[in-house]
Structure 1
């Protein structure tokens, strides 16, 4: 298990060793200064995508960023430690998975309010995968040029190396889970 305080100290030392201000690394990594600061203080545990961005900003592979930080094989992420992200348009994501060195996997619970379009997402690198399962409501999933309507209990798999989108076109909330195996950060646009 990676101790957030140890990760924060290690990240701070790497940044300081390169003579980078917090704002410079945040800009290079594409993460907010407040997020980076909270990680360095050990107050937040970043997702693998955020860790990958920080590593890229430092010019390091993720494995080097996490070197010597793993202290056990079982990693527990308590509900209070999960990242809750309120997105524009009223939808909400909760990142359920802990960060595991060398494993580019995320499990996310998303709630789309009635009539909410979460927008289009760019493709991940080849070899990436997404699994989606609808818990309640109805989800309109776009994958490339195709569209799929999924009801409660439905699930789908798709290679995540194509653009995709999520929308709720009904008058009731939609709750769904995404399990994503991400080969590296998303491509731009």
Structure 2
């Protein structure tokens, strides 16, 4: 990929982050800054006019694919308009006490939901801590969803559809999670990992 392509991808990533942060207000401001009607933005982005209208009124939570399409349609204006915007910098802090905890059926694996709850319909991520031998059995997610387990300490094994693979500290496993799957902490040592689940709603067409 050339320098121009890398810069464009970086701009699009910036756009997606911006749009996801102040969704409705940002999209409406960018659209009006370029004198675009809802119909024109719908035509340029491939996102239905009714959906854009709902997003601007904060009546719906768009998928990541929708955010990217709108970002692509508005990316030329993002940096310039933001530079003159009046929003304060966005930093949100969550305390340990405010972090929800999930526990596996055997009680040996704890998943702290460290991801943003507003994105949970399409992007989830967790801090995973397990005692030796801990097992986390999960049902199927939406078709096309993918999960990534990055091991920080110890060793984990993932089983999907009868196929198993192990990873130790510094290694990651990526796998389809749209079918029943299991994560196990193997060996005699405790394990820790970061788990990210990208649901179908976030997968680009």
TM band (smaller chain): 0.5 to 0.7
Matched-pair contact (CA < 8 Å) for 2:151–2:167? yes
Q: Measure, in 2, the Cα distance between the counterparts of 1:129 and 1:72.
A: 34
Instruction: Choose the corresponding residue for 1:76, options 63, 78, 92.
Output: 92
Matched-pair contact (CA < 8 Å) for 1:105–1:181? yes
- Aligned pairs for 1:92-107 (under 5 A) are 92-100=110-118, 104-107=122-125
Structure of higher CA gyration radius: 2
Assess, with a 3 A threshold, how the Cα gap between structure 1 residues 72 and 143 changes in structure 2: closer, same or farther.
Answer: farther
Query: TM-score, length-normalised on structure 2?
Result: 0.50
Query: TM-score, length-normalised on structure 1?
Result: 0.54
Kindly indicate whether residue 148 of structure 2 is the aligned counterpart of residue 137 of structure 1.
no
Q: Measure, in 1, the Cα distance between the counterparts of 2:91 and 2:60.
A: 16
Matched-pair contact (CA < 8 Å) for 2:154–2:191? yes
Cα RMSD, aligned residues only: 3.0
Q: Which runs of 5+ in 1 are unaligned?
A: 3-62, 185-189
Matched-pair contact (CA < 8 Å) for 2:104–2:135? no
CA positional deviation for 1:126: 1.4
Match of 1:35?
A: none
Assess, with a 3 A threshold, how the Cα gap between structure 1 residues 127 and 88 changes in structure 2: closer, same or farther.
Answer: closer
Instruction: Choose the corresponding residue for 1:85, options 84, 87, 102.
Output: 102
Matched residue pairs, number?
A: 120
- Aligned pairs for 1:148-167 (under 5 A) are 148-167=165-184
Matched-pair contact (CA < 8 Å) for 2:125–2:196? yes
More helix by share: 2
Q: Measure, in 2, the Cα distance between the counterparts of 1:151 and 1:139.
A: 6
What SS does the corresponding residue of 1:168 show, helix, strand or coil?
Answer: strand
Q: Measure, in 1, the Cα distance between the counterparts of 2:119 and 2:155.
A: 34
Kindly indicate whether residue 122 of structure 2 is the aligned counterpart of residue 115 of structure 1.
no
Q: Measure, in 2, the Cα distance between the counterparts of 1:93 and 1:101.
A: 17
